Amino acid sequence: MSTSPIARRIEVLSQIPLFSAFNRDELEALAGRFVDVSYRRGDTVCAEGDEGDTFFVCVSGELEVWGGAPRRIVNRLGPGEFFGEMSLLLGGQRAATVTASRNARLLAVDKSVFEQFFLHNAKVLEAFSRVLSKRLAKMARGEVIAKTSTTIGVTGAPGLEGKTLVASALARLLKEFSGNEVVLVQLEGGRAPGGRSAAALSELARASVDTLQRHLEDVGLTVPVLRIGAAGDDVGEYLPAFNARLGELFRWVVLDLGDARAATAASDASDLLVRIVDQYEPAPAVRGGPRARTLHVVNLHNATSPAVAINQCEPFVIREDEALRGLTAAAQAAHIRDHRRSPAAPALHRLARKILGASVGIALGGGAAFGLAHLGVLKVLEDNDVPIDMVVGCSMGSLVAIGYAAGFTPAEMIDNARRMGTIWNTLWAVLDITLTKPALMTGDRVARLLSPLIGPVKDFDQLALPCRVVATDIETGERVAIGSGSLELAGRASSAVPMLWCPVKREGRILVDGGVADPVPAEVVIQMGADVTIAVNAVPQLRRGVQTVLSKAYRRLKSIDPLSYLAGSRDLPNMVDLIMNSMQTLQYELGNFKAISADVRINPDLSALTWVEFYRPQEFIDRGSEAAERALAEIKRVLTERRTVPRAADDELAAGPLHRHGTAP
């Protein structure tokens, strides 16, 4: 068969149903009038309002059609589809903007050729009518056409390990979390594993679906593996068509890019790149650039990778995991799937959910003993397979957040809480009076009382999950989201109730309880990169008649104090309760307001309990569990919606930054 450009165009056009209306002679004549045009990712093919003087046919790649108000994607076009016919049939300007979402190759003819070959062909006009009817029906229903597939390239800086681990685990987790079909493509330079030639990619790019299926291998990964070889030049030329062919079979294509030249060439053909780096530096978003969005992974197994403070979604830090040594890639992926608390697993689970647009963050509000309810919330979420990928805490919630991020299970934290205090050692811890610091009490004893919740982990760079804790700069009133340094100091700063416990000096700031500025820091979770946010406000509204043990003891003393009768203070509350009740009122009202930005809000009913009752942990935990049970249906609805809506995993990832980067002091 001839390899001339016209012969190749005839071969392409003959496979498109629209051109079945032409006989062989007409098709040859038409093929000679088409012009090949290519566009890179991000290029505009035509803009709304332009003169409609060209008809296009998509040969390879993918296009997005933008229109409406507000501007949104109204359609996607792939190989074999066409556009521009309506402007030519009706005359006038373009009604929408078409951009290349992947590198695309098109065939184009001008108005004169269109009128000669298309305008008077009844079968062609009938085909145009059918396509137009379908497009109008979809627009009327508000449908957005999902990408046929999403291609993820996994690569790494030279000399760094972990690429195949990430690619294999990611492929398995994407299949499980999304329920869609996934293929892992192992792309090597030169000869492929198993002895296939370097031309394999060029051959498979033109192969039938049946031929592709015959090349798939089962290596025990639960997703099929396709091993091919290609030189760097072949990747750039043939990978877009190869991806399009795989898209007929698989929703997700994960490329394990073993060759540096292949990785460079694959960046234009991938919707998303996952890159292993030795150190992570956030890069500014590139406006209008053709490159795929890149997510960064730091593998601490690499000697050149220093410890990183775990305080936001990206980078995805893989901690050293001895259990993975000596295992095959399939066995490593299985271990990461089955042992989600193993050192390497949390980052890879979070990466897969981030790609799906379904990463979950939780904001745990303050409230002294009320914060024990968070343990019940976390227990219910874990028991019902609701993942938590990142966590933020305020005041008492900061201690629970740190413990959970450090790797404690909710059950372990509940056991610690049950053993933590009696009524006597709680009062001993609370009444830690000082005469030398700007507070009634030092807070040292309370810190020791609550230390079992945090455990032995000392620094943010030792955490398993991204975590921040919120404090308030008492000199400026600013919210301060702490995400680095000492965990103990961060927890103390976040829970230093003004006037009651001593403030904390950190990096030139004087910090007090985060509840003063942001009692339920849902906004911080969003800034960290969570796609789904759960906010828990454990602080109840004050109820008349509910007294703390301090109030009861104080009133008994007042009843036998003659001076209290003379001063008229017998029925007034004590100083500690005055401060804490004021904080409770503030945190209840402001906390509910701050939680508005969350997708799901949880409010345990703790109005019959008080802030000081650390010696009644089970009652707080039970109320938290009950509130979480009530919220489960809504949480699962939101998660299901995020996993199935195309924009989360496709448009947002490919178009720009995944999230607003917050700063962690």
- Give the SS3 label for residue 531: coil
Query: The tokens of 522 are what?
Result: 């849902």
For 445, the token pair is 């004893």
The CB-side HSE value for 146 (13 A sphere, CA atoms) comes to: 13
State the DSSP string of 258-297.
-SHHHHHHHTTT-SEEEEEESS--PPPP-TT--SPEEEEE
What are the DSSP calls for 198-265, one per residue? Answer: TTHHHHHHTS-HHHHHHH-B--SSSS-EEEEE--HHHHHHHHHHHHHHHTTT-SEEEEEE-SHHHHHH
Cα–Cα distance for residue pair 316/296, rounded to 1 Å? 6
d(CA 635, CA 378): 13
Count of alpha carbons within 13 angstroms of residue 216, beta-carbon side: 18
Q: Do the beta carbons of residue 584 and residue 497 sit within 8 Å?
A: no
How many helices and strands (H and E) does the chain possess? 25, 23
Say what angle helices 396-406 and 410-420 make with each other, to 10 degrees.
130
Tell me whether residue 398 is one of the annotated catalytic residues: no
Tell me, rounded to whole angstroms, the distance of Cα 611 from its chain centroid. Answer: 35
Contacts of 139 (CB under 8 A, 6+ apart): 74, 75
Whole-number Å distance between alpha carbons of 90 and 92: 7
Question: Measuring CA to CA, which residue among 624, 600, 608, 609 is closest to residue 372?
Answer: 624
Kindly report the length of the chain. Answer: 665
Does the annotation mark 395 as catalytic? yes
Question: Please, is 331 exposed, middle or buried when counting C-beta atoms within 10 Å of its C-beta (0-12, 13-18, 19+)?
Answer: middle
Sequence-separated (6 or more) residues with CB below 8 Å from residue 557 = none
> What gap in Å lies between CA 555 and CA 515, rounded to an integer?
28
Catalytic residue among 149, 168, 395, 398: 395
Q: How far apart are CA 301 and CA 296, in angstroms?
A: 15
Strands annotated E in 80-202 = 82-83, 97-100, 104-110, 150-156, 182-188
Given 259, 513, 518, 650, the catalytic residue: 513
Q: Are 252 and 224 spatial neighbours (Cβ–Cβ below 8 Å)?
A: no
Residues known to be catalytic: 395, 513
